[in-house]
Amino acid sequence: MILYKLHKIPDRFIFRVIFILIILWNLKHFFLIFQIPYTLAFVDYKGQNTIYSKVVAIKNAVKSDKEFNDSDKIGFISDTPQSNVFNLTDSILDFYAAQYAIVPVVLKNDIEKEFVIGVYDKKIIKPQGFDVYKKVNDKIYIYKKINNGENK
C-alpha cells in the first residue's frame, strides 16, 4: 500500500488570503467613512429644500411682529386662481407651508382678513385694497388691508 502525502496549506495562510480579499473588496467603501462627517458638517440640505425655506422665511418675518400674531385668522393668496388652489399640488404645498409657519394662527383661503400672505411662483398679484406690509423674499409677500387710507 502506497501512501500519498498531501501538501497541506497552513490555515494561517488561507485566513490571510481571505482577509486581504475582503479588505480589497470593501476598499471602494473605505472613503465613505471620511465623506460622511464632511457631508454632515458642511452641506446644508435644509436650505436646499424649497418648502423648508418657505416655512423658515415666513416664520422669521412674522416671529416678532405683534400686530400680525395678534390676528386670529390670516388670508392666503397665490398666483393660482382661488377656485383651483386646492386642485394643484404646488398650491397645496404653498398653503400648508404658510400655515405651518404661522401656527397657531389659522390660515384661510381668502382675502377677507386684515393680513394676507401671498406666495407666488410665476406672477405677483397684489390684491385690491391691500398694501405690502412686508416683503419676505422675491416670491413671498405679506399684505395688510388698507384702512381709511392708513397703511404701514
Measured between its terminal Cα atoms, the distance across the chain in Å is 112
Does residue 19 lie within any of the structural domains? no
Q: Which domain holds residue 84?
A: 46-145
Does residue 135 lie within any of the structural domains? yes
Number of domains the chain is built from: 1
Among residues 126, 133, 127, 131, which one has the least CA distance to residue 112?
Answer: 127
53 close to 61: Cβ distance less than 8 angstroms: no
CA-based angle 21:27:33, to the nearest 5?
140
Does residue 62 lie within any of the structural domains? yes
Does residue 50 lie within any of the structural domains? yes
Distance of CA 77 to the CA centre of its chain: 20
Does residue 151 lie within any of the structural domains? no
Considering the entire predicted model, what is its pTM?
A: 0.62
CA-based angle 148:131:103, to the nearest 5?
110
Going residue by residue through the chain (152 aa), what tens digit of pLDDT does each one get?
A: 666 666 676 788 888 889 988 888 777 777 777 777 666 666 666 656 778 888 999 999 998 888 888 888 899 998 876 565 566 677 788 889 999 999 888 999 888 899 999 998 888 888 899 999 999 999 999 999 987 545 44
98 close to 85: Cβ distance less than 8 angstroms: no
